[in-house]
Amino acid sequence: MIEVKNNVYWVGIKDWDLRRFHGHELSTHRGSTYNSYIIKDEKTVLVDTVWNPYKEEFVENLEREVGLENIDMIIINHCEPDHAGSLGYLMEKIPNTPIYCSKNGEQSIKGHFHKDWNINVVKTGDSLKIGENELVFVEMTMMHWPDSMLTYVKGANVVLSNDAFGQHYSPSSLFNDQVDQCELYQEAIKYFANILNPFRPLIKKKIEEIKAMNLDIDVIAPSHGVIWRDNPIQIVEKYYEWSQSDFSEDYAVIVYDTMYDATKNMAQAIAEGLRNNNINSKLYNSSVTDKSDLITELFKAKAIIMGSCTVNNGTLSSISMLLEEMQLLKLKNKPAAAFGSFGWSGEGPGHISERLKKNGMKVDLEPIKFKYQPTEEQLKECVEFGEKFAQSL
Ligand SMILES: [Fe+2]
Ligand SMILES: [Fe+2]
């Protein structure tokens, strides 16, 4: 156990090896942690568990450090198996322990475990005195599941926020002031872009609601990654910034897929046009770039230019899948344009342009396309296309 603050302890698992999460959907280059917490007061409270592959190690740790018979209650902030997965194994050993969760959490726990446990439903503002500290519950519906909630430990002033404010990051230290800040923020924004972005408007409202509660917050302890104890509000402020519909950083992204480099050559010429008008850009070939990293870059981009050569009257699959993913993650409201080469029919760039519009991007320019390898003259037209796009920003 590692003391977080005033008898609040971390009893989680560090998963150094994890490289894919949510099945294989999300890349986790720096591993992850499953953070579970113990509060030792007159009552001993366990908050969340860990992913089921680690259930034995987790329960052994609890037995050694706390004693299972000493656990008076369990709070389940969120029932996704990376946090509640070990609950079944733990409850086999302490089956009568009361569980506290949100109303949606009750359904979720029953749906996952099919057991008749002692489940107590709590809602926003409900509190539970456990001795010197009091637990206050705040529902965090769709941050990022219907059942999500946070538990505020009033007294210790620790927010146990579950997935919110987390990162898939497993450094040697558990605390934000002891890790590389660039790595930390890279993982925090990647988490936001890939998991939380669909719920952006709700997040903005929820943060305003939490701010209005005027809680004294000394520590924010999420269920993945490091614990925010140095200026914890910094991550709340970042979430607020990221949740604005017009959030972006100061660069454009050109993303393309290519068969024989004609579309790639067009991409480079368009980037030159952007640069001529003082717009920095990053170029990515979507077929060889990690999808989760690419989504993070598209989330941060202030504009997106997307290209593919035409194949079978459409686009290469990495571009069509990316457009689908962007729609599902509600990546929208950015200036965008399309381009590409073709061999005979040339529908690809038009498909991209239409799909970008359907996704809610702002598309003003007609897509640019050329047959076969672009000539010097055509590459100049691509440069001009980039310049024109830059002027519109
Ligand atoms: Fe989750
Ligand atoms: Fe999680």
What architecture is the 252-392 domain classified under in CATH?
3-Layer(aba) Sandwich (3.40)
- In whole angstroms, give the CA distance from residue 344 to residue 279: 33
Q: Is 80 one of the catalytic residues?
A: yes
Domain 2-242 and domain 252-392, same fold? Reply is no
100 membership: H or E segment, kind and range: strand 99-101
> Kind of pairing, strands 310-311 and 20-21?
unpaired
pLDDT at position 356: 98
In the chain, what are the domain boundaries? Answer: 2-242, 252-392
Q: What residues have CB less than 8 Å from 338, skipping those under 6 apart?
A: 305, 306, 307, 349, 350, 352, 353, 356, 363, 367, 368
Calpha distance 6→237 (Å, rounded): 25
Q: Which of 83, 168, 224, 351 is catalytic?
A: 224
| Residue 112 annotated to the active site | no
Q: How far is the CA of 27 from the centre of ligand 1 (A)?
A: 15
Check: CB of residue 58 under 8 Å from CB of residue 83. no
Check residue 235 and give its pLDDT: 98
CA dist 364 to 37, 180, 305, 369, 376, Å? 51, 41, 12, 16, 25
User: 288-330, pLDDT tens digit by residue?
Assistant: 999 999 999 999 999 999 999 999 999 999 999 999 999 999 9
Residue 169: its pLDDT value, please? 98
352-373 confidence digits (pLDDT tens): 999 999 999 999 999 999 999 9
CATH fold of the domain at 2-242: Metallo-beta-lactamase; Chain A (3.60.15)
Helix (H, G, I), strand (E, B) or coil at 213: coil
- State residue 308's pLDDT score: 98
DSSP annotation of 54 reads G
| Catalytic choice (15, 41, 54, 78) | 78
The pLDDT score that the predictor gives to residue 357 is: 98
Which residues in the chain come in under a pLDDT of 70?
none
Residue 16 is classified by DSSP as T
Q: Looking at the CA of 83, name the nearest ligand.
A: 2
Residue 22 falls in the annotated catalytic set: yes
Q: What is the pLDDT of residue 230?
A: 98
Does pTM top 0.85 for this prediction?
A: yes
Here the tokens at position 81 are 């198996």
Going from the Cα of 59 to the center of ligand 2, the distance in angstroms, rounded, reads 19
Cα-to-chain-centroid distance, residue 2: 26
Q: CB atoms < 10 A from the CB of 176, how many?
A: 24
Residue 24 among the catalytic residues: no
- Chain mean position to CA 99: 27
Q: Is 146 helix (H, G, I), strand (E, B) or coil?
A: coil
- What is the separation, in whole angstroms, between the first and last Cα of the chain? 52
Distance of CA 37 from the midpoint of ligand 1 (Å): 16
Q: Helices in the chain by DSSP H: which ranges?
A: 55-65, 81-84, 87-93, 103-113, 181-191, 200-212, 233-242, 262-276, 291-300, 317-328, 348-358, 376-392
Our answer to whether residue 78 is catalytic in this structure is: yes
Q: Judge whether 168 counts as a catalytic residue.
A: no
Q: Which of 15, 41, 48, 82 is flagged as catalytic?
A: 82
Q: How far apart are CA 220 and CA 167, in angstroms?
A: 13
